[in-house]
Structure formats: C-alpha cells, structure tokens
Amino acid sequence: MGDYSENLIEIHDLKYSRGHRAIFDGLNLTIKRGEITALMGPSGTGKTTLLRLITRQLIPQQGAIFVDGLDISTLSQSELYQLRQRFGMLFQNGALLTDLSVFENVAFPLREHTKLSNRLIRHIVLTKLHAVGLRGAADMMPAQLSGGMARRVALARAMVMDPEILIYDEPFVGLDPISLGVIVRLVRRLNDALGITSIVVSHDVEEIATVADRSFLLSDGKVAASGSPDELRTANSELVRQFMHGMADGPVAFHFDAPGYEEQLLGRDTE
C-alpha cells in the first residue's frame, strides 16, 4: 500500500505515441478516491489506451503514473500482479467465456487467484450475482443472455474479487433503454455501497452526467477540460461544446487528414 492521499491515481506529464502519432503529449490527470471519474472525448483520443497505461499493459515513453502512491513503472512483475488484483474491469463487450455458465464466469477469478473452498466461492458468487439482480440466472449460459444481462454478469465478475478500483470501458454501448438505465444505476449504487473508486470511459454524455462526480474531456493528447458534467456543459471551449452537445460542426472535423481529393483520385499524389 502506498501513502494515503486524496488522489488515488495521479498521472504526470504522460507521453505515449504509436509510430509517428502522438496519443498523449504531456497529459496530467488525477482521479480521487471514492469518486466516479469519467474519461470522455472524440474517438481516437486514447481513452482505452489510457486504461491500459494505468494498469501497465502499455509503457509510456515519458511521464509517471502513480496508483495509491506507487510509481507503477518501478514495480516488479510480482508487485504489478499484486496491484492489478486491486482492479476490476468491465470490458466493452462483456467478454464472457462462452463455454462457462454464468456462475462459472463469475467464479473464474476466484478459482484462478485464490484457494477458497467451493462452498465459500459459491457464497461469494451468488452474493455478487444478487447485487446485479441475476442470482436466478446462475445456471444459464452466455448465449442465453440478453445484451444487458451479459453486461451485468460481466459486472458481477469484475467485482467478485472486491476491487478497490473498478474500470468500465464503454459500459453503455449497445444497450436498450431499460438495460441502460439498470447499468447506470448499478454504477452509482455499487460505487457508493462498496466505497470504491470507479473510472468510466464513455461517449454517452447524457448517461455519464447522471453518475459521474468529475469528468475529463481528452483531446490532442491532453485534458481539454475537466469538472462536473454541469461545468463541462457550460464551458466556453468550442471543442467542449461540440462534444457535449453532439454538434456536427466544430473543431473535431468530419474528414480524417488526407491528400487533396482530386489529387488522390487522379493518382497524382504518388508521383
């Protein structure tokens, strides 16, 4: 455990590139304990990449990331694995194991990382499924679940190890309005009831505004704006207004950078 601080995660002067394209260019960001922090921004701004950097699946070219006071770049392999057990992850598509039942999907982390008895594992798994309203679906297979149910099972699995930090990667994508409302409510309720810290990557401005304590809008490798959802809605920045209000025209262009249209069609750009 690191030194106690109000900030659970601190990112300082982070730089990361893929090839010649800079994803982050001096990113500074802090995530406070016990809050729900939203990471937002146009597609391609590196939101999921940032999650991978925070869990050290990727290594930055420059800068430092501290989790609970620990500089994750200095951790040994065993220390890194120990740190990762403090994280829970809800993947964008749920990522349930199709050959395992709902019960066994949720039990999987416990069987892999602990030596608990089958009786205790059963108790924990059913408790987590009950928390997401799916204790009655324990014997079902993933193929029998609706999209919203599958996302809730994945959430039960993400929290089965009682993580301190719960990461949601686009948790609202592809859900019908009822399932969406259920997931939004669960994000808020679980964060408050369990006393954890949540990080939510999302494009869904309306939904994230109902649960996030603080939001960061990423653009051009840095934090373009931060604050409560209401503060972002009233920001003066054209980029922030375009994103928060879903405007087609603004700093984020429709067309990706390309050679001149006529030149490329005629093949002159290859001369």
- pLDDT level of residue 3 (50, 70, 90 thresholds): low
Cα angle: 110, vertex 145, 102; to 5 degrees: 20
Beta strands per DSSP E along 41-171: 62-67, 70-71, 87-90, 165-169
List, for residues 80-126, the tens digit of each pLDDT value. 988 988 898 888 777 888 999 999 999 999 998 889 999 999 999 99
Place of tokens 């996302």: 151
For the stretch 226-235, what's the b/e string if a residue is b when 16 or more beta carbons lie within 10 angstroms of its beta carbon? Answer: beebeebeeb
- In the predicted model, is pLDDT for residue 235 greater than 70? no
Dist. CA 243–CA 82, nearest whole Å: 37
pLDDT, residue 44, reads: 76
Q: Position 123: which residue type?
A: H
CATH of the domain spanning 1-86+193-271: 3.40.50.300
Domain ranges of the chain: 1-86+193-271
- Residue 269 has φ and ψ, to the nearest 5°, of -70, -10
Averaged pLDDT for residues 164-171 = 89
List, for residues 37-78, the tens digit of each pLDDT value. 989 877 777 888 899 999 999 999 899 999 999 999 999 999
Let me know if 124 is exposed, middle or buried by CB neighbors in 10 A (0-12, 13-18, 19+): middle
Q: Is 83 within 8 Å of 75 (Cβ atoms)?
A: yes
- In the predicted model, is pLDDT for residue 1 greater than 60? no
Whole-model pTM over 0.95: no
Q: Is 94 within 8 Å of 145 (Cβ atoms)?
A: no
